[in-house]
Amino acid sequence: MTNAKHSKGGINVAEKDSSIEFWHKRLGHLSEKGLQILSKKQLLPGAKGTLLKNCVHCLAGKTHRVAFHRFPPSRRSKVLDLIHTDVCFMRDKTLGGASYYVTFIDDHSRKVWTYALKTKDQVLDVFKQFHAEVERETSLKLKCVRADNGGEYRGPFESYCRLHGIKLQKSVPKTPQQNSVAERMNRTICERIKCMLSHAKLPKSFWGEAMRTTVDLINLSPSVPLEGDVPQRVWTGTEVSYEHLRVFGCKAYVHVPKDERAKLDDKAKPCIFMGYGREEFGYKLWDPIARKIVRSRDVIFLEDETSEDVERVEKKKNTAADPVNLEPISPSQMHENVEEVVHDEPQGALDQEVQGEEQLEQEEQVEEEHPLSEPRKSTRDRKASTWYSPHEYLLLTDGGEPEYYQEAMSHEDKEEWNKAMQEEMESLQENHTYDLVKLPKGKNIT
């Protein structure tokens, strides 16, 4: 059973009884060992059991050759003492046209940052952005960067590092083991992207959104070099929360603001969950109808449903028993067949009479302009008039909620409306949403 509630972060979400499989999905197909560590720390509310069944998406995305023996990883003593970086190429382009992503990893905390790139020559630009952000956040100086011998880390990149006193360590050509931290992280990110896209049943063009969500989840997951600690906690020094996590690619209903819908429109629209906002609060979602990313904090999640369920709902809605053609008619199409009557919405008998008069006026105008031309016959198929169903009549007669103060005060539930308005005003005052000031001279209250 799914119930809507307010989480501690102030975001409206839907709460669901969670098994260890759900937390496995919420954490972007985290390993069983990582889930056990978080479960022992009681950081996964409602998690049941610690044994994870075989996940077909993990088998499809994570299977690889047996690794060679390697020495235990070592760490620097402070954040920003060393940053590992590498560029990864993806065959499929993102929705924004990116074909690469660059990774930056702090050696001490093992926190990860990624940036999607259209070309490799953008590496320096995003590194400048990363450099400014991390130094401002930590009040520390970046000391060393370790990269491979790729061309994107030569020339201007070397000059920038020298200018800012950053030591640049580059691996020997064709020796990726010397940049193993970044190489392994790129492999981990790619595997998790495959798992999440497979489970969400999304096309490969969504790998950019899956990558950003994957990195957010890696920073919240136990790390072997940290002996089970979490990168985000080591980086910030504060405990992390998992209550806001939801299954990537699941179906979600997003509230539609009142000014963006008509009275009879749905108050929520089905979308696909894409991840978590960084610069803004709330969740990121994909609107399959508008084909764009939307942000909202008023979301109800159906974590056991995927993008296929969203498509099924839209197909069912589009094939409903309504023979009316809702496609817009261009002016050129209207002049091609002057005699035909275009129905933009279901019409009753009175509407037919009105349209009949308009049709006669159009025919008279045509006869005056071309008195010798023969009247053409419409080639459009005629359809019987569509009558409103009882359900549609009910929607038309439903008054809905009051839209004006006077309407609310004359409503039979005016006491409840008055109480709701008082509570809203008290909330605005408590949050210091506005300040009362004196009216400037010469100005009127409108």
Does the predicted model carry a pTM greater than 0.85?
no
Q: How far apart are CA 151 and CA 407, in angstroms?
A: 69
In eight-state DSSP terms, residue 397 is H
Q: Could you read off the pLDDT of 323-382 as tens digits, one per residue?
A: 434 344 444 444 444 333 334 444 444 344 445 444 444 544 444 444 545 555 556 666
In eight-state DSSP terms, residue 151 is G
pLDDT band at residue 3 using 50, 70 and 90 as cut-offs: very low
Residues 6+ apart with CB under 8 A from 140: 78, 79, 80
Q: Could you read off the pLDDT of 392-431 as tens digits, one per residue?
A: 555 555 556 676 777 778 777 788 888 888 888 888 877 7
Residues 6+ apart with CB under 8 A from 232: 111, 219, 220, 240
Q: Could you read off the pLDDT of 202-242 as tens digits, one per residue?
A: 999 999 999 999 999 999 999 999 999 999 999 999 999 99
Q: Which of 52-66, 152-166, 395-409 has the highest mean pLDDT?
A: 152-166
pLDDT of residue 392: 57
Do the beta carbons of residue 395 and residue 264 sit within 8 Å?
Answer: yes
Do the beta carbons of residue 109 and residue 231 sit within 8 Å?
Answer: yes
In eight-state DSSP terms, residue 148 is -
pLDDT of residue 384: 56
Q: What is the mean pLDDT of the chain?
A: 79
**Between 60 and 377, the higher pLDDT residue:** 60
Beta bridge partners of 170: 147
Q: Could you read off the pLDDT of 282-329 as tens digits, one per residue?
A: 899 999 988 999 999 899 999 999 888 776 666 666 555 444 343 444
Helix ranges, 139-179 (H): 156-163
